[in-house]
């Protein structure tokens, strides 16, 4: 039998664990923990858990970085910019190699591709995605994690320009 004070602690732990999984975040440096940084996951990405590899301001993903989804390769990614915990612009890597260039996001958080007659939008999306991967690489390098830094530097290089230019 669980006594009332223990039940309150148990419920608090369950909420914290559930919240960490549902929030889908994670700070890279010693700053915010995964449970402290919230992020809206783009609807095109279905794997879980999700971890934000970027800055967290006021408990929300902010700025350039990478949202990594999944437990192992092949991961799904959002490489780009977040504001207030919401994706703004970047590249979604869905199924290993399927890419969705998201110039912006619709109300259901699906990536909206650049207009066909506006090639500069496509270039901008890939530059934003590359900058997000570069930011994650710098974060890992500053922590002394050379392997992860190299991995995200390679992503930044791969997504610097649209693959079909």
What are 139-155's pLDDT values in tens digits? 999 999 999 999 999 99
State pLDDT tens for residues 102-143. Answer: 999 999 999 999 999 999 999 999 999 999 999 999 999 999
Q: In this structure, what token pair is assigned to residue 32? A: 């915010």
Which residue, 81, 154, 83, 155, is CA-closest to 124? 81
Q: Where are the beta strands (DSSP E) in 1-159?
A: 50-57, 60-69, 76-83, 86-93, 99-102, 104-105, 111-112
CB atoms within 10 A of CB 86: 17
pLDDT reported for residue 31: 39
How high does pLDDT run on average in the chain?
82
Which residue, 102, 74, 85, is CA-closest to 159? 102
CA–CA separation, 142 vs 125, rounded Å? 26
């Amino acid at each position: 039998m669980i006594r009332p004070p223990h039940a309150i602690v148990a419920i608090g732990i369950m909420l914290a664990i559930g919240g960490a999984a549902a929030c889908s975040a994670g700070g890279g440096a010693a700053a915010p923990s995964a449970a402290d940084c919230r992020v809206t996951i783009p609807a095109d990405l279905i794997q879980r858990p999700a971890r934000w590899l970027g800055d967290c301001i006021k408990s929300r993903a902010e700025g350039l970085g990478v949202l990594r989804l999944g437990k192992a390769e092949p991961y799904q990614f959002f490489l780009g910019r977040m504001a207030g915990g919401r994706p703004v612009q970047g590249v979604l890597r869905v199924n290993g190699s399927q890419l969705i260039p998201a110039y912006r996001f619709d109300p259901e958080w699906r990536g909206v591709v650049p207009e066909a007659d506006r090639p500069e939008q496509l270039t901008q999306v890939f530059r934003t995605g590359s900058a997000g991967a570069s930011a994650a690489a710098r974060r890992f390098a500053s922590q002394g994690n050379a392997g992860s830094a190299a991995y995200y530097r390679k992503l930044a290089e791969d997504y610097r320009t649209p693959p079909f230019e």
